[in-house]
Structure 1
Amino acid sequence: MTSTLTAETLTAVDRCDRCGAQAYVRVTLPAGGELLFCAHHGREYTPKLRELDADIVDEYSKLDDQQPTPAATAGIES
């Protein structure tokens, strides 16, 4: 029997290894090991990580899916 490892979807508890913000990018290095990055640091480090042939899974689309909460828009007039 062959099993395939799949990375779980990133959640709000997954934090950027660089700054601690919510992670949206999971990087698996060719030599082993995993890194998590926020959208900002993911964009910053992706070019170099691609050069290293790292496996990069980005979930930036989650940022587009987020709707503002009433608390986030309180006090803003249209």
Structure 2
Amino acid sequence: MIRAAELVVLDTTDIEEVVMNATSVATRGLTALDRCDRCGAQAYVRAVLATSGGELLFCAHHAREVESKLRPQTTEWQDESSKLHEKPVFEDAD
């Protein structure tokens, strides 16, 4: 996984491969195991980079902080921060 601090713009000649990789990465939902590359909190945003097909994960706070600069460099911006406002569903214990 590419960390935000290690972000390097790479040149690629095989755009189809990059798009396929980016599509397959972004098709899965984020889970509680996905962590922000900046602070280690739960990630709610996945940014798939157009140049390399790599991904960066961010908590909602850090995603808002970098979105305006980073989003134009992505093929996918998967934002699941609406999950922060969902009410938990508890099953009745009988």
Q: Structures share a fold, TM > 0.5?
A: yes
Partner residue of 2:8? none
The Cα shift of 1:7 comes to 2.4
Equivalent pairs counted in the alignment come to 65
Aligned: 1:48 with 2:65? no
Partner residue of 2:57? 36
1:25-50 per-position Cα deviation (integer Å, ceiling 9, x unaligned):
00000012100000000001111112
Take 1:66 and 1:11, find their aligned partners in 2: how far apart are those partners? 16
Aligned partner letter, 2:47: V
Runs (4+) off by over 3 Å:
none
Which structure dedicates a bigger proportion of its chain to helix? 2
Partner residue of 2:37? 17
Show structure 1 runs of 5+ residues with no match: 68-78
Show structure 2 runs of 5+ residues with no match: 1-19, 89-94
Aligned partner letter, 1:21: A
Higher relative contact order (CA 8 A, sep 6+): 2
Partner residue of 1:70? none
Identity across aligned pairs (percent)? Answer: 58
The root-mean-square deviation of aligned C-alpha atoms, in Å, is 2.0
